[in-house]
């Protein structure tokens, strides 16, 4: 069973205290799909929810080493949605790329892919496409067009699909990943990293619709299959040491 690392997200409790959390829908989707979920906790001694992006200290050598050790325990990494990403999240992605660990990122996680090594470039949504259906978890609300020469198309076998959508901001540029899907208003809906390693980001939430949407199931299952390949390689490596 592959181990999927999930960076905890940042929020406030009802009484205003900063908290870290793993969304229940993420846990349930991956456990139901056949994976162990491993919570990856931030490493800096800062208030992650209240600290502004430009006020974070640089990661120390020791903190970077902790991230490396955490990712050595993972067969894949799932970057969930949320309200902000930090230098810690960016470095997690950088190390996952370096170690060729399969990655699936959704919503804010995909937006981080678009600018993980440069200035944050996100803009508020405008137009007629419903990009935030808010509390409706059971609907697919807008169409996405997928490039045929992409990993995503290889997984789904479709050029157009319907997706859910829960975001108020969108990525505006992308210089490292390849844009492989867009909405009718031109927003970036999916990104892929060049190369053989599974590195896919989607603006929607397949973990929410995994149990009732065939396309969502195919995306997560493909990610887990890539993670299982890394799991097998990891176990073989331990046996030969």
What percentage of the chain reaches a pLDDT higher than 70? 98
Q: What is the pLDDT of residue 173?
A: 76
What percentage of the chain reaches a pLDDT higher than 90? 71
Contact criterion met (CB below 8 Å) for 28 and 35: no
pLDDT tens figures, 19-29: 999 999 999 99
> Domain range holding 72?
3-240
Contact criterion met (CB below 8 Å) for 62 and 29: no
Q: What is the pLDDT of residue 117?
A: 77
Q: What is the pLDDT of residue 225?
A: 96
Decide if pLDDT at 239 tops 70. Answer: no
Higher-pLDDT residue of 62 and 169 is 62
Higher-pLDDT residue of 136 and 59 is 59
Instruction: Give the pLDDT mean for 96-110.
Output: 95
User: Residue 168 — very low, low, confident or very high, per pLDDT cuts 50/70/90?
Assistant: confident
Decide if pLDDT at 131 tops 80. Answer: no
Whose structure tokens read 């190369």?
Answer: 195
Higher-pLDDT residue of 241 and 73 is 73
What does the block give as tokens for 175? 């210089």
User: Residue 136 — very low, low, confident or very high, per pLDDT cuts 50/70/90?
Assistant: confident
pTM, full prediction: 0.92
CA distance 187 to 144: 10
The residues with which 132 forms a beta bridge, in sequence order, are 166
Decide if pLDDT at 238 tops 70. Answer: no
Neighbours of 46 (CB within 10 A): 16
Decide if pLDDT at 171 tops 90. Answer: no
Task: Indicate the average pLDDT of the chain.
Answer: 91
> Considering its fold, how many domains does the chain have in total?
1
Among 3-12, 35-44, 80-89, 133-142, whose mean pLDDT is lowest? 133-142
pLDDT tens figures, 180-233: 999 988 899 999 998 889 999 999 999 999 999 999 999 999 999 999 999 888
- Provide the CATH number for the domain around residue 177: 3.40.50.880
């Amino acid at each position: 069973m592959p181990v999927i690392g999930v960076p905890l997200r940042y929020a406030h409790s009802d009484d205003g205290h900063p908290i870290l959390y793993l969304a229940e829908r993420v846990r349930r989707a991956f456990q139901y799909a056949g994976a162990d979920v491993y919570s990856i906790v931030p490493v800096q001694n800062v208030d992650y929810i209240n600290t502004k992006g430009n006020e974070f200290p640089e990661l120390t050598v020791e903190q970077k080493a902790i991230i490396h050790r955490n990712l050595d325990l993972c067969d894949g990494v799932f970057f969930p949605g949320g309200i902000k990403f930090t230098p810690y999240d960016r470095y997690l992605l950088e190390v996952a790329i370096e170690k060729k660990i399969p990655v699936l990122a959704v919503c804010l996680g995909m937006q981080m892919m678009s600018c993980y090594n440069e200035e944050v470039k996100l803009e508020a949504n405008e137009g007629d496409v419903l990009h935030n259906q808010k509390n409706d978890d059971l609907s697919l609300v807008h169409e996405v067009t997928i490039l045929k020469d992409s990993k995503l198309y290889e997984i789904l076998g479709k050029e157009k699909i319907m997706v859910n959508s829960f975001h108020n901001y969108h990525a505006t540029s992308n210089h490292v990943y390849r844009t492989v899907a867009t909405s009718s208003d031109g927003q970036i809906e999916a990104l892929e990293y060049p190369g053989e390693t599974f590195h896919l980001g989607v603006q929607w939430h397949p973990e929410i619709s995994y149990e009732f949407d065939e396309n969502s199931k195919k995306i997560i299952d493909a990610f887990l299959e890539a993670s299982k390949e890394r799991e097998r390689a990891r176990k073989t490596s331990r046996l030969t040491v």
